[in-house]
Amino acid sequence: MADPINVSNATRFVHAGERRDFPGGKPAATPIYATSSFIFDEIEDIDRIVEGGASGYVYSRYGNPTVAAFEEAVCEVENGAFAYAYGSGMAALHAALLACELTTGSVVLASRDLYGSTFELLYTVFGAFGIKTVAADFSDLETLQEAVAENKPSVLLCETLSNPLLRVCDIQAVAEIAHAVNAKLVVDNTFATPYLCRPLDLGADLVVHSATKYLGGHADATGGVVIAKNEFDRPALLGALTLAGGVLSPWEAHSLLRGLKTLGLRMEKQCSNAERLAHILKDSPYLSEVIYPKFFDGEHAIALDETFHGSEFGAIITVRLKEDTREAAYRFLNSLRVCTRATSVGDLFTGIVHPATATHRELSPAKRVSLGITEGTLRIAVGIEDLNDIAKDIENALKECHPAEAGIVSDIPFTNAAAAAQLF
Ligand SMILES: *Cc1c(COP(=O)(O)O)cnc(C)c1O
């Protein structure tokens, strides 16, 4: 660079003492590169990077080192060819669908119990461009095959574990059905996480995450990511990132990267807590149903085996109150003292959601009932607290929400683990 010249104080304030090269070694954690752009000693350097002849960063909408570190980490744990991170799970889903190059008249065949906003995205944003969405039951492979034959979709879209009924998708079988008609399979792996399942290994073309949930895990960052199986999807996904512009911020990337480091530890604890809790709740006189993948039989058990391969069944349990009403569900939620009344899932503390008024609020009551989401249905995302405290809290709240049988609830001595979780 040219020698520094005599400058005034105002200029000195702008340029003083910044932009130092790192002297050696490596920071143990990826730094937050909070910069929107990058500067160079020679203008030709920028040219070479933009042309693709040299690696580097020029402008953070096109790439940022902190964000790239997060993308590489997720790509590795999902066994992908590459990954791009986005500002939210919805931005990631939007990008994944854009990358499927849908045009007017294209059909998306979507699993009927997808995340509510995903359906809204399909019906409103993509629907406005003449892209048709057809809903099908992905757990019944025969009807799925018929729906594929009838609708000739370009994309099949499903979730590894559905929300809130935890239906398991036999990804390998669904991928075969999709590929037989040259359709792409896009899988939202938010609920299962790569700890339990890697859909790309089972034949999916694109995997999407709301990183806001388990990948981040600490309720402190919003983000999304798409992981691709094939290099040829790169230009379309990069375009959906840089032109639609829903990029992840380096601050969020840093939090998500830190969260990802403990995904294994958290999932191990959360899955074992969930399994023990599911067994305890199965005996509850206040519940008519306890949905947990371990208890599945028939086709669901086969799907579970094909998709999960393991002995762990996820960290989410869905229950139905015997008094199947909104009033009872609200009384239950308001009686909780350790578990949180949540709107999210995948945090390290236990969060309980009332799907009928939260995740599936936009659906008509009749539609909800047809999906099996009644007013007394509750979704428990189990956290890392001491299981005894979670179980006691839920059992007490169940007792309290059934007034006829409510006794006097004594003060429960909670453990340190529960107290620590509540310090957030
Ligand atoms: C939360 C969620 C999304 C949307 O993610 P955001 O980060 O909130 O945009 C998509 N799919 C599933 C399964 C989710 O749980």
Are 242 and 309 within one domain?
no
For the segment 47-75, the average pLDDT, to the nearest whole number, is 93
Range of the domain at 200: 61-260
Q: What 3-state class would DSSP assign to 346?
A: coil
Q: What is the pLDDT of residue 382?
A: 97
Quick check: is 143 in a domain? yes
Give the domain CATH number at 68: 3.40.640.10
Please indicate whether residue 66, judged by its CB atom, sits closer than 6 Å to ligand 1: no
For the segment 26-32, the average pLDDT, to the nearest whole number, is 92
Find all residues with CB under 8 Å of 384, minimum gap 6, and list them.
266, 269, 270, 273, 348, 349, 417, 421
Report residue 63 as tokens. Answer: 């790439």
Whether 18 has a pLDDT exceeding 90, the answer reads no
Are 251 and 310 within one domain?
no
Phi-psi region of 63 (alpha: psi -120 to 50; beta: other; left: phi over 0): left
Are 171 and 292 within one domain?
no
Q: Which of 295, 272, 237, 289 is nearest to 391 (CA)?
A: 272
Please indicate whether residue 60, judged by its CB atom, sits closer than 6 Å to ligand 1: no
Digit-coded pLDDT (tens) for 171-186:
999 999 999 999 999 9
Are 154 and 285 within one domain?
no
Are 207 and 223 within one domain?
yes
Are 237 and 198 within one domain?
yes
Report residue 124 as tokens. Answer: 């409103």
**Which residue lies with its CA nearest to atom 1 of ligand 1?**
210
Backbone angles phi, psi at 46, to 5 degrees: -60, -45
Quick check: is 73 in a domain? yes
Quick check: is 385 in a domain? yes
Please indicate whether residue 360, judged by its CB atom, sits closer than 6 Å to ligand 1: no
Please indicate whether residue 252, judged by its CB atom, sits closer than 6 Å to ligand 1: no
Total number of domains constituting the chain: 2
CA 2 – ligand 1 centroid, Å: 50
State the Cα–Cα distance between residues 125 and 131, nearest whole angstrom. 9
Q: What is the pLDDT of residue 403?
A: 67
Choose one of 233, 260, 287: the last residue of a domain: 260
The question of whether 269 is a catalytic residue gets the answer: no
Q: Of 113, 170, 188, 386, which one is the catalytic site residue?
A: 188
Quick check: is 15 in a domain? no
Please indicate whether residue 312, judged by its CB atom, sits closer than 6 Å to ligand 1: no
Whether 407 has a pLDDT exceeding 80, the answer reads no
The question of whether 115 is a catalytic residue gets the answer: yes
Report residue 357 as tokens. Answer: 């008024």
Whether 408 has a pLDDT exceeding 50, the answer reads no
Quick check: is 368 in a domain? yes
Q: Of 167, 184, 198, 213, which one is the catalytic site residue?
A: 213
Are 256 and 276 within one domain?
no
- Label residue 416 by pLDDT band (50, 70, 90): low
Whether 130 has a pLDDT exceeding 50, the answer reads yes
Characterize the bridge pairing of strands 377-381 and 316-321: antiparallel
Please indicate whether residue 163, judged by its CB atom, sits closer than 6 Å to ligand 1: yes
State the Cα–Cα distance between residues 330 and 79, nearest whole angstrom. 42
Q: What 3-state class would DSSP assign to 114?
A: coil
**From the alpha carbon of 114, which atom of ligand 1 is closest?**
13
Q: What is the pLDDT of residue 406?
A: 46
Cis bond upstream, residue 65 (ω within 30): no
- Label residue 388 by pLDDT band (50, 70, 90): very high
- Label residue 69 by pLDDT band (50, 70, 90): very high
Quick check: is 20 in a domain? no
State the Cα–Cα distance between residues 141 and 177, nearest whole angstrom. 9
Q: Which of 139, 163, 173 is nearest to 301 (CA)?
A: 139
**Which residue lies with its CA nearest to atom 5 of ligand 1?**
89
Q: What is the pLDDT of residue 11?
A: 81
Beta bridge partners of 111: 136
Please indicate whether residue 189, judged by its CB atom, sits closer than 6 Å to ligand 1: no
Q: By 3-state DSSP, what share of the chain in percent is helix, strand and coil, each rounded to 5?
A: 45, 15, 40
Digit-coded pLDDT (tens) for 246-281:
999 999 999 999 999 999 999 999 999 999 999 999
Choose one of 221, 242, 260: the last residue of a domain: 260
**Which residue lies with its CA nearest to atom 8 of ligand 1?**
89
CA 52 – ligand 1 centroid, Å: 33
CA 89 – ligand 1 centroid, Å: 5
Please indicate whether residue 359, judged by its CB atom, sits closer than 6 Å to ligand 1: no
Are 237 and 367 within one domain?
no
The label of the residue with tokens 């008249």 reads 105
Digit-coded pLDDT (tens) for 304-319:
887 887 789 999 999 9
The question of whether 266 is a catalytic residue gets the answer: no
Q: Which of 276, 216, 181 is nearest to 88 (CA)?
A: 216
Query: Best of 212, 249, 347, 361 to mutate for ligand 1, by most ligand atoms within 8 A of CB?
Result: 212
Are 290 and 193 within one domain?
no
Biggest CA–CA distance in the chain, Å, is 84
Radius of gyration of the chain (CA): 24
Give the domain CATH number at 362: 3.90.1150.10
Report residue 128 as tokens. Answer: 């406005």
For residue 407, the tally of other CB atoms under 10 A from its CB is 8
DSSP state, residue 122 = I
Quick check: is 35 in a domain? no
Choose one of 215, 240, 260: the last residue of a domain: 260
The question of whether 386 is a catalytic residue gets the answer: no
Quote the mean pLDDT of the chain: 91
CA 90 – ligand 1 centroid, Å: 6
Find all residues with CB under 8 Å of 69, minimum gap 6, and list them.
30, 253, 257
Q: Of 45, 57, 59, 61, which one is the catalytic site residue?
A: 61
Q: Which residue has the higher pLDDT, 7 or 202?
A: 202
Are 248 and 324 within one domain?
no
State the Cα–Cα distance between residues 304 and 297, nearest whole angstrom. 9
Q: What is the pLDDT of residue 259?
A: 96
Quick check: is 40 in a domain? no
Are 138 and 279 within one domain?
no
Please indicate whether residue 224, judged by its CB atom, sits closer than 6 Å to ligand 1: yes
Are 397 and 290 within one domain?
yes
CA 329 – ligand 1 centroid, Å: 23
Whether 397 has a pLDDT exceeding 50, the answer reads yes
